[in-house]
Amino acid sequence: MFKHLLVPIDGSATSELAVSKAIGLAKAFDSKVTAIYVVDPYPFTGVGADFAYGQGQYLNAAKAAATEALANARKAMEQAGVQVTTATVESHAAWRGILDAADSGGADLIVIGSHGRSGIEKLVLGSVAQRVLSHTKLPVLVVRA
């Protein structure tokens, strides 16, 4: 039924649950899986020497976090016998990077973790899963803790 699953991860416990669900689905449907980690390449809006130095530090830390999270996802999937590829995606909005990766990679299901924020916290921090749901035509499985 589903031949290519896209699993966006962020290194959180919730995204690890999404990886586990994706493993079960991939085994059931003999699907391949792509795990992605979205990094905003330009999160700072300031200018000057301090900005440039902070930008480099941020990118190094973000890419290191992506590498670690993707390695953990790859290990879990390979141990379960699931065919997986991983990628770090650059996008100013995580939801946009997820949708672009789904389109370019030919995914037919997105399996995404949601932190379940509500109220003011959701208003301030937003919801990547909600935006993915609102802007895609693909089926989406939202995994919550």
For residue 48, the model assigns a pLDDT of 53
**What is the mean pLDDT of the segment spanning 125-131?**
78
pLDDT at 115 over 70: yes
Question: Phi-psi category of 43—alpha, beta or left, where left has phi over 0 and alpha has psi -120 to 50?
Answer: alpha
- Helix/strand/coil for 87: strand
Burial code of 71-96, b = ≥16 C-beta within 10 A, e = fewer?
A: ebbbebbeebebebebebbebeebbb
Q: Does residue 139 register a pLDDT over 60?
A: yes
In this prediction, what percent of the chain has a pLDDT beyond 70? 85
Output the pTM of the full model: 0.88
Amino acid identity, position 140: V
Structure tokens at 54: 């902070």
Tens of pLDDT, residues 37-89:
999 887 665 555 555 557 778 888 889 999 999 999 999 999 999 999 999 99
Three-class secondary structure of residue 111 per DSSP: strand
pLDDT for residue 117? 55
